[in-house]
Structure 1
């Protein structure tokens, strides 16, 4: 199992889910408190998650410390009396705060169960200093086969500190190339939360008075449905099942074959599909991470992009043509226009010029080179300026000048007067 899962529910939602399935919750963290679990669609190691466990001392339950009773609300004070009435919750049931006596011997209290916020990445109780993030990553998961052997770092936890980790689903990455992996999201087909088997512990560093509760998720071999994706998966337990009650029963203080058999691949039908690669970066968080890549709800789906473009194209074709917002000169009726011109409101050229005077400078239909000039010069314009305007308004052919040309194709031989002036000039100088 890769080190990422989803925890979108809040503590009160997790409590309601458990209680609705006859799994009593004696205590739970406040959703607005500092120790509230973290909600995330990209839950990473080091985050504080939702853990369900027996309310036992930090060192774990001792043999004979609690009564052997399943954590069912029906068994804790809701059994029918002989007269057919139903007792009040926890009425007459021993707890950690109350004890009953049978003769001279005190009966052990019944265990209570609670939801607790813990940090993902187990730190053993004997740790003296903060091990750092690198060491934390090594204990986010615990292999089930490592619990079957005696000894090891998990010994005290597996016998007296077992728990349930609540999640909505988890991620796994499929290798499709040497450097490419595609993230997949795995959840229950029925949409219910997942309950992972886990272990917990409590540590207090030598330079601190604060307690730190941490947990790990136990992994087993993948079931046939997930073999293509990864060879490991979390040990998933069914709510209010015999296996779940066996796992969190604090009266079981020795590792037995029955506890080991609880840890096996789930037979519950799962739903698996690829999701956005953005989930691969720790710190990213979005509800879109659990939406299938091929889903219509996924905005980044390339198929949806082309489907929307095609829909816009179809919609554009279905919209009838509308007359342009700007005025348009069209031929009058009978003026040789194309078929269908009679259905339009004709805007005559004269009317257009009255409305938009600037159109008077446009070329007339009869000649593409003719340009209209002002009919008269304003009274306030000086004669010199009027002459310039008249010259600028008159059509003139522009010719490119060069060093050997004066703007005409042939020299001005016809200008005899100019030639005589030049001859006279040189004659005088000699």
Structure 2
């Protein structure tokens, strides 16, 4: 969790909405730099909002920022995140700029030498909040200097029903006020050996579910409110020491959300329809997306404007689910500890027999889970036998399991292993 979300709006609309909510946007790419789809899957380019800083992140003006222990609260008080006149005079800084940026979902650390295996990337689409408590592991540098927010309309989660939880009912979760949703995230920039191109990637941070969503899943993304003190602190590039204050931001959402079942067609990667974010049994679903935007905007958006904003125009009344031509990946039902979403397979590996777990230091953490290939594929069910783990040592960054003792701890090396081993 989170394994799929909706981003069926243009980047220009996102920029306008951010500015309307008091967020500074000094730079943004063209609309076509971000995938505009109501069925946004890992491995594609999404909209990320962050401070405009160097590729290594942070501003670095604080005194001994990296030398003080994490959580001691001794970092120098930063100026307001939008660079007010007072802060500029006090610190001699130019006004801090913020930008929207197109990044690929599935974080690749900056020290990576070669393009990692596809399934390894699927394990870095999320980062658990409790994996950031200690200053160890692959997230250490990102949590200090490379924090961001991921922009979307809402996210999907699949409710398991029936004997053995084999039936999965997709649900859409959005803000009750209809505004855009912002996930706390981490980003990084990598330049592979032999390549002149930079690749920017991101991960969504997850935490325990709030009481409203407990029935659906025990995990949820960390959601931040636009213009809140928490978002300002999270995006502040002057905070280059991980602190208790930053850790406290990563908590279940306390605002009002809406959750309802939606079309099962959203389960197939590449399927796209504005009806995916509308309740499956609603009148709007039977008519068109314009009605949905008119009602969710509390009168501020007309039906016509809502359709234009959504990018559906005259096709608003077309209920046909369309498969995006450039999305050729197959979809597999894989039981994971963090998400129930059907996951995309790499383009070159659409056969279920090739979906296997690659070795990484986290393989030494033995979760007692079963990996299954869903009924949409013809191959028989395969099970990966894993011994139970013992709690107390290290926690996986992406799953709620603990490290084994002895040799496993040595292999982990407290987060100092080369990323080549992580993605091997």
Contact between 2:154 and 2:173, CA under 8 Å: does it hold in 1? Answer: yes
Cα distance, 1:192 vs. partner? 0.6
Q: Superposed, which structure 2 residues align to 1:99-110 within 5 Å?
A: 107-110=92-95
**Residue in 2 that maps onto 1:243:** 230
**In structure 1, how many angstroms separate the alpha carbons of the residues matched to 2:193 and 2:35?**
27
**Residue in 2 that maps onto 1:43:** 40
Q: Superposed, which structure 2 residues align to 1:17-56 within 5 Å?
A: 17-32=17-32, 36-56=33-53
Cα distance, 1:45 vs. partner? 0.3
**In structure 2, how many angstroms separate the alpha carbons of the residues matched to 1:263 and 1:148?**
10
Residue by residue over 1:87-137, the C-alpha shift from the partner in whole angstroms, topping out at 9 and shown as x without a partner, is: xxxxxx86xxxxx8x9xxx92333211110000110001111111321111
**Residue in 2 that maps onto 1:4:** 4
SS across alignment from 1:297: helix
Residue by residue over 1:44-94, the C-alpha shift from the partner in whole angstroms, topping out at 9 and shown as x without a partner, is: 00111111101111011252079933234xx646x9xxxxxxxxxxxxx86
Q: Does 1:183 align with 2:170?
A: yes
Contact between 1:2 and 1:173, CA under 8 Å: does it hold in 2? Answer: no
SS across alignment from 2:254: coil
Cα distance, 1:16 vs. partner? 1.2
**In structure 1, how many angstroms separate the alpha carbons of the residues matched to 2:209 and 2:96?**
33
**Residue in 1 that maps onto 2:138:** 153
SS across alignment from 1:64: coil
Unaligned runs of 5+ residues in structure 2 are 64-76, 288-424
Unaligned runs of 5+ residues in structure 1 are 80-92, 95-99, 301-430
Q: Superposed, which structure 2 residues align to 1:257-272 within 5 Å?
A: 257-272=244-259
**Residue in 2 that maps onto 1:123:** 108
Cα distance, 1:299 vs. partner? 4.3
**Residue in 2 that maps onto 1:70:** 80
Contact between 2:2 and 2:206, CA under 8 Å: does it hold in 1? Answer: no
**In structure 1, how many angstroms separate the alpha carbons of the residues matched to 2:48 and 2:80?**
18
SS across alignment from 2:212: coil
Distance 1:42 1:123, change over 3 A: same
**In structure 2, how many angstroms separate the alpha carbons of the residues matched to 1:68 and 1:20?**
25
**Residue in 2 that maps onto 1:281:** 268
Contact between 1:68 and 1:110, CA under 8 Å: does it hold in 2? Answer: no
Cα distance, 1:296 vs. partner? 2.4
Contact between 1:27 and 1:113, CA under 8 Å: does it hold in 2? Answer: yes
**In structure 2, how many angstroms separate the alpha carbons of the residues matched to 1:62 and 1:273?**
42
SS across alignment from 1:225: helix
**In structure 2, how many angstroms separate the alpha carbons of the residues matched to 1:166 and 1:277?**
23
Q: Does 1:213 align with 2:217?
A: no
**In structure 2, how many angstroms separate the alpha carbons of the residues matched to 1:194 and 1:133?**
27
Bigger radius of gyration: 1
How many equivalent pairs are there? 272
Q: Superposed, which structure 2 residues align to 1:217-232 within 5 Å?
A: 217-232=204-219
**In structure 1, how many angstroms separate the alpha carbons of the residues matched to 2:2 and 2:145?**
26
**Residue in 2 that maps onto 1:168:** 153
**Residue in 2 that maps onto 1:113:** 98
SS across alignment from 2:283: coil
**In structure 1, how many angstroms separate the alpha carbons of the residues matched to 2:81 and 2:236?**
8
Q: What TM-score do you get using the length of structure 1 for normalisation?
A: 0.60
Contact between 2:2 and 2:221, CA under 8 Å: does it hold in 1? Answer: no
SS across alignment from 2:115: coil
SS across alignment from 1:174: strand
**In structure 1, how many angstroms separate the alpha carbons of the residues matched to 2:56 and 2:285?**
47
Q: Superposed, which structure 2 residues align to 1:407-426 within 5 Å?
A: none
**In structure 2, how many angstroms separate the alpha carbons of the residues matched to 1:165 and 1:297?**
27
Contact between 1:71 and 1:113, CA under 8 Å: does it hold in 2? Answer: no
SS across alignment from 2:272: coil
Relative contact order higher in (CA < 8 Å, ≥ 6 apart): 2
